[in-house]
Structure 1
Amino acid sequence: MVLLPRFLQIFLLALFASLAVSSMAQKSPTWDETHYLGIGVYLAKERSWDVPSAHLHPPLSFYLNSLPFLFLRPDFSCFEKGPTGDYFSAVKRGNCLMEKSGLKEDHLLFYSRLPMVFIGALLGCYVFIWATELYGAGGGLFSLFLFCLCPNMLAHTQLITPDICLTAFGFIGFYYCWSGIKTYSKGKAALAGLFLGLALLSKYSALLWFPVFLAATACLHLKGSNVGKIKASALFLGIILLVSIFIFLFGYLFHAGEFFYGINLQHSLVSRGEPAFMKGEVSHSGWLCYYLFAFLIKVPVPMLVFLLMRCFLFKWVKGPKWVDTAFLLLPVISFLGIFSLLKTVNIGLRYILPVFPFLMVWAGGLAALNIYKKAYKRILNLFITVGLLFYGASGLSIHPHYLAYFNEIIGGPENGYKYLVDSNLDWGQDLKGVRDYMVKNGIKEIKLSYFGTVDPILYGINYRAFPGNIVLDKKRLSGEIVKGEIVGISATNLYPVHANLEKVAEHFRNKKPLAVIGHSIFLYKSDIAALMSFPEK
């Protein structure tokens, strides 16, 4: 019986990795991936942050996505120096690296994504470990099942964006904080410092982990303490701080000033704000309820039910003390609360991705219910089993379109574009599907309004582009629509969020499409002739 949980753990993690790899093989680069690709190899070689996009995030995810360059020689002519905000040059660089890699199509990106799948699987291991320590093997497997078939975790563990790194290393660091503070273990303090340092190298928002951990640690002393415990806690925290600072400096090649420059840059971007979309409305000031709303419609319904059950049945969960609960829920409350207040960055559920593993571990308590009446226990177990089957079906049925997942509350992913866009649904990931549809249906050319940054020509797509987004080949720009031609419009561009197609978008938005590729790119046969003339954004 001891071997069974281990076997199931390995099986679930293998399933998670295979689903992620299979999905990413079918997906083109998302918006950010193109201009993040290869930055790490430049930073390591030149020890300089003087190329576009280098300051958008700390460098860890850049280093990880550049690991294929250990075996491939990058063409450094692709790198042009310039300010961080020069997105056109950054996108041009990413396309250049893929074209000159010597590999077919975007295979360079595929290999660059693989380290992130490993990071995701590592996170899954620690979800299992933490839940097992709290609720036993049943709780560990329950939480791991929730993790491995979560559409949102599968969506972001296959991308070279830094969200999975922040989520994984922050969570693992918190685990070692929680595990080590009980005995004031210096070894676990060092491990906590290591992973929190890696989190700092992932995203600037990792700074939130430190005050949250201090608050969780303070909970240990609320029911009384003494000088010895306070000193031991101070030493434990000191080790974490010193190790994390060293890891942070090492990752920045001891150029710490680049971190603070990036912080200032992000502050200016947040202050300026990004256009946001929710339920058919576009806003430049955002909504307080944005992230809660996104959570409610992008998380599988069984998970929402499990969380509600966990709230109502908390008295019957065996094992954890209230301090253990504080370590799980304080990060959730902090991230969700702070990002809800930052209304100018309402652009994707991924910003609160770090709350997911904590909630999954907490939900694992449903596997450790101490209910004495057998009839009640049987009913609950049956209800939970049905919920798990429903949850698993949600994760498998959406494959490979994980980024576009929406739950049944709004009618599933086919209705997602009516409620949220951008990285919640349409981030440029479905060009391969467009190419396959064109080949299958004998379509020679397409008029394209694409919310993405990779050049469609990389996939052999003969296209003419609407103005409005980044278009590398200006000769392909066209504002004319001819009656009878095939028009492709990304879901995000059906609304005036980043590209304003004016009445053309409104016209097609109210038409039934020929096909919808991956729930994110809508294909139409034009029944109008129009001429648009407006500048590229």
Structure 2
Amino acid sequence: MQTPSRMRWWQWLLLLAALALFAAQAGWSSTLKSAAFDEQYHLAAGYSYLRTGDFRLATNHPPLAGLIAALPLLGDDTITLPTDHPSWAAGDRFLFSDIFVWESGNDAQAMLLRARWMVTLLGVLLVSAIFFAARQMMGARAAWLALLLAVFEPNLIAHSRFVTTDLALSLFTLLAVWWWWRWLVQARWHNVLLAGIFAGLAMGTKYNGALVWAVIGLALLIQPTVPGGANWRQRWLGLGAALLAATGVIWALFRFSVGPVTFLPAWLPLPAPHFWQWFWNTVFRILDLQGARVDFFLGEASNRYWWNYFFVAAGVKLPLVELLLALTGFALLARNRTLRRLCVLWLLPALLLLLGMTEVLNIGFRHMLAGIPFVLLLGGYVAEAMPWLYARPWRTVTVSALLGVILVADTARIAPHYESYFNQLAGPWQNWSNILVDSNLDWGQDLIALRQVMDEKGIESINLAYFGKA
């Protein structure tokens, strides 16, 4: 574990300025975006949970992300929650969210903007976590480079202003893995308990948050033991403690309910049965949909899967500087024989790429969002492994300024449409829809921009093929 010197006052100011800049990009662009397709479902599930304590709409996803986003709406007596509509009794999250957001007299855009600020706050916390994780794992130089990459990362900015699950999952996954790494190198029980709590929050955000346990388990096996760190006996005990802590978080999220599930005998109830039943249902629904869902990739619409989907998606959706630095960082880890010591930096991106080679996740680059913080950490390692870049103050200033200019220019060219970012390998924007579509490009979020164009050109009505309700 690195023990860099304490940060000076001007470094704290620089960090706060960077976080403010990230928040400003997300907050400003949020006001220019209509509802993305998935937002209404998460907002309805989260707000109804807060108002009624009922989690019946938390089916496709657990309610935590929507619950956090809906917090600013509490206490607003002007918001109508139509629990008298038949869709509520039926637990139909699709129809109920339509009624709640669009057909109950609520100001949909105002509700979304307030809810999005909570997601932006989670985004700021994620960027902070990237900085401090890099600082502790690798050193101060790595932290500042990772911070620079994160502040202008278009995918993180985009999903820091949508009421969806991907940003929150990225935050809690990073925190869980970071604190598990702390446990492995410094065997203090609060480290392992916090790792378990954050892993529970990841699972309470999205069912595929369970992937964090694959990272934790592999790190347990791969990470070499160090003096003062967890020995093999402590590692297995720590894993059990983390699992118990995560189970407690999920149980609390579902109001300490206990009951039967269909995949176990009725005499064997589980805590939080709603969660585990829908976790089970979701896994088997994904498996059942294999070959039944039509997807689009590289100009082809098909119900077959593409093993290289995420490789291509990462190649065109990540900024080139970020991608090159991450690959260089991985190569330097191998050269310096630190792949095992810092295995937590590359395990999740590797697992996501491997999972993407199956038929399970060929449905959008956002499903790799949780891997991006680790890509940024890998990029940050370059600064620590190549100290000659920063051996003299003028080199530090020159390299930082050059990287900053490149990142700012690259992000500015797509602003405020960060979710539609493609790098230079994808060619001109006219070509992007031939590579990837759906949430990679158009998630239904640009009705406001369409209205502005129509007003500017004096167009009163159009025929629009629109995927959404807004």
Shorter-chain TM band: 0.7 to 0.9
CA distance in 2, matches of 1:245, 1:419: 40
The residue aligned with 1:200 is: 203
Gaps in structure 1 of 5+ consecutive residues = 455-537
TM-score, normalization by structure 2: 0.86
State the alpha-carbon separation in 1 of the partners of residues 248 and 284 from structure 2.
27
Cα deviation for residue 7 of structure 1 reads 2.0
Secondary structure in structure 1 of the residue aligned to 2:296: strand
Q: Residue 144 of structure 1 corresponds to which residue in structure 2? A: 147
Is 1:75 equivalent to 2:80 in the alignment?
yes
Write the distance in 2 (CA, Å) between the matches of 1:380 and 1:411. 32
Q: What is the CA distance between 1:330 and its match in structure 2?
A: 1.2
Counterpart of 1:90?
Answer: 97
* Letter matched to residue 69 of structure 1: L
Tell me the residue number matched to 1:262.
278
Q: How far did residue 210 of structure 1 move?
A: 1.1
Distance, in Å, in 1 between the alignment partners of 2:93 and 2:190 is 44
- Measure, in 2, the Cα distance between the counterparts of 1:140 and 1:223: 23
For the Cα contact (< 8 Å) 1:190–1:240, is it kept in 2? Answer: yes
Identity across the alignment (%): 27
Cα distance, 1:83 vs structure 2:
5.4
Which sections of structure 2, spanning at least 5 residues, go unmatched? 1-6, 258-271
After superposition, the C-alpha distances for 1:86-128 in whole angstroms (9 at most, x for unaligned) are 634433332235xx23x4x511110011111111111111100
Q: Does 1:292 align with 2:299?
A: no
Using the TM superposition, give the Cα deviation of residue 136 of structure 1 relative to its aligned residue in structure 2, in angstroms.
2.5
Three-state SS of the structure 2 residue aligned to 1:81 is helix
Aligned letter for 2:158? A
The answer on 1:39 being equivalent to 2:39 is: no
Change (3 A) 1:266 1:413: farther
1:412 Cα offset (Å):
4.3
Indicate if the aligned counterparts of 1:30 and 1:428 stay in contact, CA closer than 8 A: yes
Asked whether the 8 Å contact 1:12–1:148 carries over to 2, the reply is yes
1:177 correspondence with 2:165: no
Q: Which whole-Å deviations, capped at 9, do the CAs of 1:214-262 have from their partners, x for residues lacking one?
A: 2102224579999x92332233223322221111110111241111222
Aligned counterparts of 1:277 and 1:174: Cα–Cα separation in 2: 33
1:180-228 superposed Cα distances (whole Å, 9 cap, x missing partner): 22221111222212211111100101111113202102224579999x9
RMSD: 2.9
Listed one character per residue, the Cα deviations across residues 398-455 of structure 1 (whole Å, up to 9, x for unaligned) are: 111001111111224442112110000000000001111122222211111112221x
C-alpha spacing 1:205/1:132, structure 2 compared with 1 (3 Å)? same
Distance 1:146 1:94, change over 3 A: same
Is the partner of 2:464 in helix, strand or coil?
strand
Name the structure 2 match of 1:66: 70
For 1:106, the equivalent position in structure 2 comes to 109
Q: Which has the higher contact order (CA 8 A, sep 6+)?
A: 2
Q: Partner of 1:66: helix, strand, or coil?
A: helix
2:296 to 259, 277, 281: 277
The one of 314, 322, 339 aligned to 2:356: 339
Task: Give 1 or 2 for the bigger CA radius of gyration.
Answer: 1
2:61 aligns with 57
Query: Deviation of residue 137 (structure 1)?
Result: 2.1
Measured in 1, the distance between the counterparts of 2:43 and 2:142 equals: 38
| Cα 1:217/1:22, change in 2 over 3 Å | same
Q: Which residue of 2 aligns with 1:508?
A: none
Contact 1:286 1:345 in 2 (8 A): no
Query: In 2, are the aligned partners of 1:68 and 1:112 still within 8 Å (CA)?
Result: yes
* TM-score after normalising by structure 1: 0.76
Contact 1:339 1:352 in 2 (8 A): no
Residue deviations 1:506-537 (CA, integer Å, cap 9, x gap): xxxxxxxxxxxxxxxxxxxxxxxxxxxxxxxx
| Cα pair distance change 1:11/1:407, threshold 3 Å | same
1:403 to 419, 438, 456: 419
What SS does the aligned partner of 2:346 have? Answer: helix
Closer/same/farther in 2, CA of residues 250 and 393 from structure 1, 3 Å limit: same
Letter in 1 for 2:65: S
The 10-residue stretch of structure 1 (209-218 or 307-316) with the greater mean CA deviation from structure 2: 307-316
SS in 1 for 2:442: coil
Q: What is residue 393 of structure 1 aligned with on the other side?
A: 409
